Amino acid sequence: MAQHPSFPSVNVGDEAPSLVFGPLTRTDFVRYAGASHDFNPNHHDEVYAKERGNKTVFGVGMLAAGYGGRLMTDWFGVPALRRLRIRFASRFWPGDVLTATGKVTAKNEADGLLECEFTLVNQDGEVIVRGDATVAPGR
Amino acid sequence: MDTSAAGKTFPPYEFHVERGKIREFAAAVGDPNPVYRDPAAAAAEGLPGIPAPPTMLRTFLYEPQTSAEALGVKDWSFIVHGEQEFEYFAPVVAGDVLTGTQRILSVTEKESRRAGKLSIGVIETVFHNQRGEKVQVLRRTLIETGQRIAD
């Protein structure tokens, strides 16, 4: 069983174990399309995407959102997650390597909740996703 | 977008939480966590079954398109998904049959110096499980820009 930090052991400023995704492939995008039934052709059809002025297909935002969700559940466990918000800042492409990092920004002793922020950035340091989450680690 | 769509509600729909789709979705978001595959690993985390990954209910597996259509978007290539929020109230596990109820929370317009007139629509989906417990609330923010989204 995975070990997750308990509420008393966590402090503001603590950082999530970071995760790296990629280099991402078109197959990764197609696998997410199939799993989510999001068949917007911009995410899997090279011809369609280029006709609309894109250099190639690009990743669906909710795939990056899923990476952010994993950052939080790897850290505190699935049952601890109370809220997750993802803001989509920029697009991502085949070949990109996304690095997810996060930290605790507030600790509410009264209700046992932590507020966290996270980002996914590409290999050039460009922010792809900003997110924040509320978690209730075990006491 | 049609600003008069704010407040519209839609007929509820069922979302069947299936173990095979959980496994497939976890693989698609690059998550090797055994709780999505092994009942014993899920039980060891205190879960009543194999859980849905945190972003799984925001998919088109079962969701009808009626709420998005009600926003009155003329061309979906002018639409970006700006933000997505999830609130978690109780576990969602394989075998659950959820009922999703959608509502358009708001449709607002604003001027952006960079992108011209923006319309911002927020669709909320509230999921209850087969025991009537509220399990998740999702809020999806869609932004309509004055031009196609391209680099």
Reported as a single tens digit per residue, the pLDDT across A42-99 is: 999 999 999 988 999 999 999 999 999 999 999 999 999 999 999 999 999 999 999 9
* Rounded Cα distance, B138 and B92, in Å: 14
Domain B3-18+51-144 has CATH 3.10.129.10: yes
Q: Which of B46, B47, B60 sits opposite A36 (nearest CB)?
A: B60
Q: What is the pLDDT of residue B67?
A: 87
CATH assignment of the domain containing A86: 3.10.129.10
* Mutation choice for A interface testing from B81, B125, B139 by most A CBs within 10 A: B81
Res B150 pLDDT > 60: no
Q: Which residues of B touch A (CB under 8 A)?
A: 21, 24-25, 27-31, 33, 35, 41, 44-47, 51, 53-55, 58-61, 76-77, 80-88, 91, 148-151
Question: Whole-model pTM?
Answer: 0.95
Percent of chain A exceeding pLDDT 70 equals 99
| Contact assignment for A31 to B27 by CB distance below 8 Å | yes
Res A105 pLDDT > 60: yes
Res B115 pLDDT > 80: no
Q: Does residue A76 fall inside a structural domain?
A: yes
* Rounded Cα distance, B57 and A29, in Å: 18
3-state SS, one letter per residue, for chain A: CCCCCCHHHCCCCCECCCEEECCCCHHHHHHHHHHHCCCCHHHCCHHHHHHCCCCCCCCCHHHHHHHHHHHHHHHHCHHHEEEEEEEECCCCCCCCCEEEEEEEEEEECCCCEEEEEEEEECCCCCEEEEEEEEECCCC
Number of domains in chain A: 1
* Rounded Cα distance, A100 and A65, in Å: 11
Q: What is the pLDDT of residue B151?
A: 43
Q: Does residue A5 fall inside a structural domain?
A: no
- 3-class DSSP assignment, residue B54: coil
ipTM (interface predicted TM): 0.96
Average pLDDT, chain A: 96
Instruction: Provide the residue range defining the domain that includes A66.
Output: 11-135
pLDDT, tens digit (0-9, with 9 covering 90-100), for B25-77: 999 999 999 999 999 999 999 999 999 999 999 999 888 888 888 998 888 77
Res A34 pLDDT > 80: yes
Res B1 pLDDT > 60: yes
CA–CA min distance A58, chain B (Å)? 10
A92-116 mean pLDDT: 97
Question: Least CA distance to B79: which residue of chain A?
Answer: A40
CB B28 within 8 A of CB B108: no
Q: What is the pLDDT of residue B58?
A: 95
Residue B5, judged by CB atoms within 10 A of its CB (0-12, 13-18, 19+), counts as: middle
Q: Which of A42, A53, A62 sits opposite B55 (nearest CB)?
A: A62
- Which residues in chain B are closer than 8 Å to A28, comparing Cβ atoms? 28, 30
Q: Distance between terminal CA atoms of chain A?
A: 17
Domain boundaries, chain B: 3-18+51-144
Q: What is the pLDDT of residue B149?
A: 57
A116-136 mean pLDDT: 98
Backbone φ and ψ for B55, nearest 5 degrees, come out as -105, 10
Instruction: Tell me the pairing of strands A81-88 and A113-121.
Output: unpaired
